[in-house]
Amino acid sequence: MKIKAINGFKDILPEEVPLWQHIEGVARDIFQRFGCHEIRLPILEKTELFARSIGEATDIVEKEMYTFVEMGITMRPEATASLLRAFIEHGLHVRQPVQRLYTIGPMFRHERPQKGRLRQFHQVDAEVIGAVEPEIDAELMAMGQMLLTELGLSASLEVNSLGCPGCRPEFRRRLVAYLQDRQAGLCEDCRRRSETNPLRVLDCKKAGCREVVEEAPSILDALCPECRSHFDQVQSRLDLLGVSYSLNRFMVRGLDYYTRTTFEFVTGDLGAQAAIGAGGRYDGLIEQLGGPKLPGIGFAMGMERLVLLLQAADNRAERPGPSLDLFVA
């Protein structure tokens, strides 16, 4: 009997490799134009790193990580936590107060495999550490938009603000009160989330939950003056850069470390997997992981989804496969 690849893990065959190399090349070129330097990170990390950063009550930590329990190590489900661990461990902030870094590689999550969602998937990821200015938020979004444009793709940019530890608790209180009276309309997961991680209910894609949250309180109405000013400046900068966007007050992302600005690049061409890239600000995370008190922001794009979009658009002109040199003796 033939041994086949594990479900959710995919071989990239020789005829497919040039397209992957093209995406990697465009990403590297753009990241470097924006002053980012490449960092290469291990696939395995201590499980505690992801529990402390992503959040113990998130779906990723609760049921999607590949973990060697006895050894306390996990195959990385995302890149930001690993990158920040390396940033702290090697004291990169001492070399330069603002660090611009990028990384490219595989991530692992135990999810149900489907189009555009595999258990081993690849991301291009860019991070800016040490800069709190709203202009940096807009710059990262412009970088992502440029990456898509130079690949010949288009997507809609959606933005939101999740506030800060000062203003988010009040919104959480309002949301919990709202959801308590509407438990019957929520799916089983969201009934649990409404107690453990209520903001995640806003991100549920199930029809019943979407109906419930349609009239839910908006986090944008609960922002403190500082967060409101920051978000207004982000939008003004996007306007100045000519980057089109729309507000999505339901966007919370699946990682607990986000603060203030969050954003997604979405498309209708991949069915249920609408997001092809996403990111946000994580101003308290570095200190939470034992590092200095520094702000940060980053984003990642899924390479499998970019490949699917490029294949669907048949946008392969001027990307030839490897040439064959023939020698006759």
**What digits encode the pLDDT tens for the residues 153-169?**
999 999 999 999 899 88
- Spatial distance between the Cα atoms of 295 and 133, rounded to a whole number of angstroms: 9
Domains and CATH numbers, the chain: 16-164+257-315 (3.30.930.10)
Please tell me whether the overall predicted TM-score, pTM, comes out greater than 0.95 for this model: no
pLDDT at 57 over 60: yes
Q: What percent of the chain clears pLDDT 90, i.e. is strictly above it?
A: 64
Token pair listed for 231: 């978000």
pLDDT at 261 over 60: yes
Over residues 257-277, mean pLDDT:
87
Over residues 250-264, mean pLDDT:
85
> Which residues lie closer than 8 Å to 91 by C-beta, 6 or more apart?
none
Give the three-class secondary structure for 261: strand
- Spatial distance between the Cα atoms of 264 and 246, rounded to a whole number of angstroms: 10
Token pair listed for 236: 């003004």
- State the helix-helix crossing angle for 188-196 and 168-180, rounded to 10 degrees: 140
| Bridge partner residues of 127 (DSSP) | 101, 298
| Bridge partner residues of 156 (DSSP) | 266
Over residues 140-148, mean pLDDT:
97
Give the three-class secondary structure for 74: strand
> Amino acid identity of 317?
A
Q: 327 or 277, which is more confident? A: 277
DSSP-derived pairing of the beta strands 44-46 and 246-247: unpaired
Rg (CA), the chain: 20
Each as own residue / partner, the long-range contacts of residues 245-248 (CB below 8 Å, 24 or more positions apart, any chain) are 245/141, 245/156, 245/157, 245/158, 245/159, 246/156, 246/157, 246/158, 246/159, 247/158, 247/159, 247/160, 247/220, 248/158, 248/159, 248/160
Cβ distance 149 to 29 under 8 Å? no
pLDDT computed for residue 122 by the predictor = 97
- Spatial distance between the Cα atoms of 84 and 55, rounded to a whole number of angstroms: 15
Per-residue pLDDT band at 116 (split at 50, 70, 90): confident
222 phi-psi bin (left φ>0, alpha ψ -120 to 50, beta other): alpha
Strands across the sheet with 44-46, in order?
A: 44-46, 73-75, 66-68
Range name among 5-14, 192-201, 228-237 with the lowest pLDDT average: 192-201
Q: 230 or 274, which is more confident? A: 230
Q: 76 or 180, which is more confident? A: 76
Per-residue pLDDT band at 325 (split at 50, 70, 90): low
Over residues 38-49, mean pLDDT:
97
Strands (DSSP E) along 109-218, which ranges?
A: 120-129, 156-161
Cβ distance 250 to 220 under 8 Å? no
> Which residues lie closer than 8 Å to 82 by C-beta, 6 or more apart?
41, 42, 45, 49, 76
Q: What is the DSSP letter of 221?
A: G
**What digits encode the pLDDT tens for the residues 277-321?**
999 999 999 999 999 999 999 999 999 999 999 998 864 444 555
**291, 296, 297, 298 alpha-carbon torsion, rounded to 10°:** -40
